[in-house]
Amino acid sequence: LTHTLLRRSKLQNQRASLNKEIIKEMRMRAGAENLLKATSNNKVKEMVLLELSYVNSNLQLLMGQLEGLNSSVDVYQNAQETANIPLIALGLKETKEVDFSTPFKDFILDHYSEDGNSYEDEIADLMDLRQACRTPSRNEAGLELMAKYYSHIPLVESRFFSPNYQTGIFFTWYDSFTGVPVCQQNLSLEKASILFNMAALYSQIATRSNRQTTKGLMEAISSFQKAAGILNHLKETFTHTPSYDMSPAMLSMLIRLMLAQAQECLFEKTALPGIRNQFNSLMKMAQEAAKVSEIYDYVHQSMIQTPIKDNVPLLWSTMSQVKANHYRSMAHYFVASALLDHQLGPNDDEDQQEKTLSQVYDHLPEGRTPLDILKKKDERQCIGKTHIRRAILGHEEALRTYALCHHLNKMDALQDILKASHERSLNKCSDNENEDDFTDYTEAPDIISKTEHKAELEVPATIKVKVNDFFQRLGPLSVFSAKQRWTAPRTIRLRPEDRDLGFTLKGESPVQVVSLDPQCSAATDGLKEGDYIVAVGSTDCKWMGVSEVMRLLKDVNHEGTDIQVVSLMDSTPSMPTKSATFCGNLPKTYSMICLAYDDDGKNPKSRKVTKKSSFLSWGLKNKLKSASTLSLPTADWNKPFPSFPSSSSHNDSALY
């Protein structure tokens, strides 16, 4: 296990190093291309063209090395796994470190009017969490870690990423296939890349499962289905990701690959207890194997389409082609065994076997029926031999394809399985050869694929987990978000007059001042209607409701107490901010411009405005009693207290 972990760590370090080299060469190429466009000197042009040729050659070599790393399938396999065909796992996307410290501190000071240095611990916790997601463990703990960070991203986005303010933070991620860097200032790329890495982690967990046990196979099936589910969620949610490994075409191919491997594990689970040497059991396994072959055919066809074929490792497409041929040959072998090794006896269910055989074939050679094949020994032998010959041809094609890929040649376990299957078919053919038989050139009919357990997309519940906001000290996110700017806290001295503070409160948390008497002492001291109370004395009350704040204020004596309030600053709606995406200038890679906009600014007229009561109406309205009026207790409880009513639109649950 330690050796495997060291190999995985070494592989990831090599990939990171290659990504850096690719960036260096791409910068040199960009500079040379710019010089070529700018110069008119022929001698300089010749020198630049020579340099470009050299740089492009280096890039091709680096891309080849990266493809070799992506072809290191054996690194992710179970150490004891020698009896099963290797599976393919996705590699994690690499990213650069991000320093949130200075930008977030500046934003807290500028936007929330608080001391950013007091949030150093929270910022450090966020950075540590992101750093840990770069090298997660290949188990449930690693998945939970990434899910935790993914769940924090929307909270961080709401706190610090304003449509009208650029933080200056750049998120850089590398394409997992080409190593091309993509850089964005918004968090869309960050979210999509974390999702991709969660899918990659599930695929790595699946490939390291022990497929010699039912439990291990169930883990592999579930993990591959979850990887496919996350990739499908990524495809549907982030439709314009600038990194090609997350483009719709590439994600569609990866989803098919994950489901194909899940179906392969389902086949292995069915075959694990042993295949009963009975007619119906063999026919069932033939259709199951045909289903696996069919899905891998689809995967291979999608891998050889442009531009996917230019980015996917050759090993992946070759492996898919080998598996398609291998499982198709296995299907023909099972049908041949059912026909050659079993004869319709008096105790057999003739109708059942006829029904089974008719469901295996889409069509039969002209002049033959399922019942004829079952009852006539010669027909049965003839069709059985055509299947075994087709199985042999398929195994030979799989071995030939295997030999053409030098990366596959390193997989001795795969070669052993292919050779053993080929030899088994040859032995079956020789056991049923008869020198007196005439050569029959009839081709075996295709086998209809069918499965009792189809691999399905499965979106894990752990994509999002419940987390505690790192920056909850800033206040409730519904109020204290990046969309709104706040004044610095102001200190107001409350001096109750006749046990009445001169205003009412509304809201959940934080509470808001409404129905302010313009002649009360608090108003004179600077309190404004619409202010939010963030502290009473030394007690922070950003998360307190009306009843809790009233409890704090009920013991105010004649000397009064200090409260701290903040006001919402007027912000003039501006044009949406363009967030540029920077990416490498390699073929088949594209960039995009993401426009961020403020949803709340779509229709300013729709905002509800409460009409402010005129000063002349105070006497008439003062007869009403407001439930949230701060009337503090006196010695005479029977005496009615003066109060200021709240408007009908004001209620305790309303938020500004």
Let me know the angle formed at the C-alpha of 595 by 591 and 599, rounded to the nearest 5 degrees: 155
Q: Does 510 lie in the same domain as 446?
A: no
* Residue 336 within any structural domain of the chain: yes
- Give the residue from 531, 566, 601 where a domain finishes: 566
- The pLDDT-based confidence of 583 (bands split at 50, 70, 90) is low
Tens of pLDDT along 168-227?
899 999 888 888 889 988 899 999 999 999 999 999 999 989 999 999 999 999 999 999
Q: Does 414 lie in the same domain as 302?
A: yes
* Residue 368 within any structural domain of the chain: yes
In degrees and rounded to multiples of 5, residue 438 shows phi and psi of: -80, 150
Q: Does 544 lie in the same domain as 446?
A: no
Q: Is 564 helix (H, G, I), strand (E, B) or coil?
A: strand
pLDDT of 653 over the 50 cut: no
Q: Is 320 exposed, middle or buried (0-12, 13-18, 19+ CB in 10 A)?
A: buried
Which residues does 157 contact at the CB level (< 8 Å), separation at least 6?
187, 482
**Higher per-residue confidence, 633 vs 654:** 633
pLDDT of 298 over the 80 cut: yes
Q: Does 355 lie in the same domain as 311?
A: yes
Q: Is 534 helix (H, G, I), strand (E, B) or coil?
A: strand
Q: Does 424 lie in the same domain as 491?
A: no
Tens of pLDDT along 475-499?
999 889 988 888 888 898 887 775 6
* Residue 204 within any structural domain of the chain: no
517: domain CATH number?
2.30.42.10
- Give the residue from 566, 589, 615 where a domain finishes: 566
Sign of the Cα pseudo-torsion (181, 182, 184, 187, in order): negative
Q: Does 533 lie in the same domain as 433?
A: no
Measured in whole angstroms, how far is the alpha carbon of residue 643 from the centre of its chain? 55
Beta 593-596 vs 577-583: how paired, if at all?
antiparallel
Q: Does 443 lie in the same domain as 302?
A: yes
Q: Does 346 lie in the same domain as 390?
A: yes
* Residue 373 within any structural domain of the chain: yes
46: domain CATH number?
1.20.58
Q: What is the mean pLDDT of the chain?
A: 80
Q: With pLDDT > 70 as the criterion, what percentage of the chain qualifies? A: 78
**How far is the C-alpha of 264 from the C-alpha of 295, rounded, in Å?**
9
CB 154 within 8 A of CB 237: no
* Residue 151 within any structural domain of the chain: no
- The pLDDT-based confidence of 623 (bands split at 50, 70, 90) is very low
* Residue 213 within any structural domain of the chain: no
**How far is the C-alpha of 515 from the C-alpha of 525, rounded, in Å?**
16
CB 505 within 8 A of CB 527: no
Q: Does 504 lie in the same domain as 425?
A: no
Count of domains forming the chain = 3
Find the domain containing 443 and state its range.
276-454
In degrees and rounded to multiples of 5, residue 513 shows phi and psi of: -80, 130
**Higher per-residue confidence, 322 vs 581:** 322
pLDDT of 22 over the 80 cut: no
Q: What pLDDT shows up at residue 217?
A: 95
CB 263 within 8 A of CB 455: yes
Q: Does 426 lie in the same domain as 336?
A: yes
Of 445, 287, 449, whose CA–CA distance to 363 is shortest? 445
In SS3 terms, 98-154 reads as CCCHHHHHHHHHHHCCCCHHHHHHHHHHHHHHHHHCCCCCCCHHHHHHHHHHHHHHH
- Give the residue from 566, 590, 617 where a domain finishes: 566
* Residue 287 within any structural domain of the chain: yes
* Residue 492 within any structural domain of the chain: yes
Q: Does 514 lie in the same domain as 449?
A: no
Alpha helices in 177-247 (DSSP H): 188-207, 214-237
Q: Does 535 lie in the same domain as 414?
A: no
Q: What pLDDT shows up at residue 72?
A: 57
pLDDT of 33 over the 80 cut: yes
Residue corresponding to tokens 């033959």: 368
Tens of pLDDT along 422-475?
999 999 988 887 755 555 667 888 999 999 999 999 988 878 889 999 999 999
Q: What pLDDT shows up at residue 61?
A: 73
Tens of pLDDT along 69-86?
665 555 555 545 556 888
- The pLDDT-based confidence of 630 (bands split at 50, 70, 90) is very low
Mean per-residue pLDDT, 590-612: 39
Tens of pLDDT along 514-540?
888 888 888 888 888 889 999 988 888
